Amino acid sequence: MRVLVVEDDERIASGLAAHLGRQGHAVDHAATLAAGWAALRGEPFDLVLLDLGLPDGDGGTLLARLRAAPAESLPDPHTPVLVMTARDEVASRIAALDLGADDYVTKPFDPDELAARMRALRRRAAGRSQALLRHGDLVLDPAARTALRAGEPVALSSREFAVLQALLEARPRVLSRQQIEAALYNWDSALDSNAIEVHVHHLRKKLGEGVIRTLRGVGYFVPDADGG
């Protein structure tokens, strides 16, 4: 998923970016409240990891601004926010939850716990309570990053996995190439114009033609399993 890390501690931010990158997430970093707000106004994110003590103000201000903004003024006004606080900041944690934060972790946090909380928020944002994504005889496990077809493992690259996960979560909606790209890449990643076509081509070779459909000139979609 595409994650914005708003954190002024360079060590924590780079550690998070490296860890999340290894799990297949695309991470952008903002070190100030102003930079975080500019990022949220410019691009859609699947999740924000928000530090509360920022050099130019309280992270809660950013949260309040995000939740109060008119829906049409932001690419994604409903982006889930996970607050990162110090253990003794109980009052600011409560305040952040009341301002619209979706969850929190206390520093120092276990990276695996953070990853599990991120998966839970993503499920909730997609309206699911089940951890596994199922489509016919295809089963995707976002925690283990494994795919099974009729019980047999399917070897997917991390980007193929991310494309398939985005399409399964959106189904039966159509995702444009740009929407799929935005879910996969950082702002600064060089990107071949046909990268998404190549990933879809490889996925079709591995999964068969029927799973991912093309809506010509619009994008790609996975139809509902019952054919609707």
Interface positions with Ca ion (CB under 5 A): 8, 51, 53
**Shortest spacing between CB 7 and Ca ion, in angstroms:** 6
Choose between 8 and 76: whose C-beta lies nearer to Ca ion: 8
Q: Assign 118 to helix, strand or coil.
A: helix
The pair of three-digit structure tokens given for residue 182, joined into one six-digit string: 């935005």
Q: Residue number with the shortest CB distance to Ca ion?
A: 53
Choose between 11 and 205: whose C-beta lies nearer to Ca ion: 11
Ranges of beta strands (E only) in the chain are 2-6, 26-30, 47-51, 53-54, 57-58, 81-86, 103-107, 133-135, 138-141, 146-149, 152-154, 213-215, 219-221
215 DSSP β-pair partners: 219
**Shortest spacing between CB 89 and Ca ion, in angstroms:** 11
Choose between 51 and 102: whose C-beta lies nearer to Ca ion: 51
Q: Which residues contact 139 (CB under 8 A, 6 or more apart)?
A: 132, 133, 147, 148
Choose between 83 and 99: whose C-beta lies nearer to Ca ion: 83
Pairing of strands 53-54, 2-6: unpaired
**Shortest spacing between CB 84 and Ca ion, in angstroms:** 8
**Shortest spacing between CB 135 and Ca ion, in angstroms:** 41
Choose between 51 and 169: whose C-beta lies nearer to Ca ion: 51
Number of H helices, E strands in the chain: 8, 13
**Pairwise CA distance, residues 61 & 99, whole Å:** 9
**Shortest spacing between CB 54 and Ca ion, in angstroms:** 6
